Chains A and B, each alone.
Chain A
Amino acid sequence: ETGVTQSPTHLIKTRGQQVTLRCSSQSGHNTVSWYQQALGQGPQFIFQYYREEENGRGNFPPRFSGLQFPNYSSELNVNALELDDSALYLCASSLGGGNEKLFFGSGTQLSVL
């Protein structure tokens, strides 16, 4: 158990809706990264937040946005949901923006109908 918690665990939305996913980082960790894992694929980097600032972004459109709060917890927001957004969304925390050793949460399984 890593100490990284995500909510909700499962979510069903319809196309065009908006969704907010939440993540609490491991105690002492100031960096949160978000990954999208489609079925049968490896996780794909969405973005990283370090001390409340975005610190790197992958190839995802602007409708994927995020926040990090002073307690280092984080939110991932997705607007105008598309069917292809159906995936497992993983949050990972680490100590320091350049630390590659990530501790993952159990993810939020999002289904878009």
Chain B
Amino acid sequence: EDKVVQSPLSLVVHEGDTVTLNCSYEVTNFRSLLWYKQEKKAPTFLFMLTSSGIEKKSGRLSSILDKKELFSILNITATQTGDSAIYLCAVVDYGNNRLAFGKGNQVVVIP
């Protein structure tokens, strides 16, 4: 069974800080890893990673995948209060059509 472990489960930072979120996984036949941001209810797509070592960037957010060590990192620089959310990591196995999610990283950014 696919397994995704995220750390830290929750953290509180001040505006302007940099945040690093970790996602480690076990999957039989890795296809992709996805990051979502969940502010209230609907998770919104951030990144999809399939290849090791290629950083994906979107504004202050970036993510990278290490397929050898089986983990991904999501970085948020110069955090803002609007970055407060739960960040969900999910993996997809070639053998099925489902996303296997971790418990999420809850980030609180205080002014």
A residues contacting B by CB (< 8 A) are 2, 4, 33, 35, 40-45, 48, 50, 55-56, 58, 88, 90, 97-98, 100-107, 109
Contacts and interface: CB of A to CB of B under 8 A. Distances in A.
B76 interface: no
Contact of A40 (B42, B48, B103): B103
Main secondary structure of the interface of B (DSSP, over half): strand
25 contacts: A2-B42, A33-B98, A40-B103, A41-B103, A42-B88, A42-B90, A42-B103, A43-B99, A44-B101, A45-B100, A48-B97, A48-B98, A55-B97, A56-B97, A56-B98, A58-B98, A97-B97, A98-B97, A100-B99, A101-B34, A103-B45, A104-B42, A104-B44, A105-B42, A106-B40
Contacts, number: 63
A109 B80 CA distance: 28
Given A100-B34, A100-B92, A101-B34, A45 B41 contact: no
A2 B44 contact: yes
Interface residues of B, number: 24
Contacts of A90: 41-43
Contacts of A41: 103
A98 B96 CA distance: 8
A43 B97 contact: no
Contacts of B34: 100-101
B21 interface: no
Q: Which of B34, B88, B90, B97 has the most CB of A within 10 A?
A: B97
Contact of A43 (B31, B32, B40, B43): B43
B42 A107 contact: yes
A67 B24 CA distance: 34
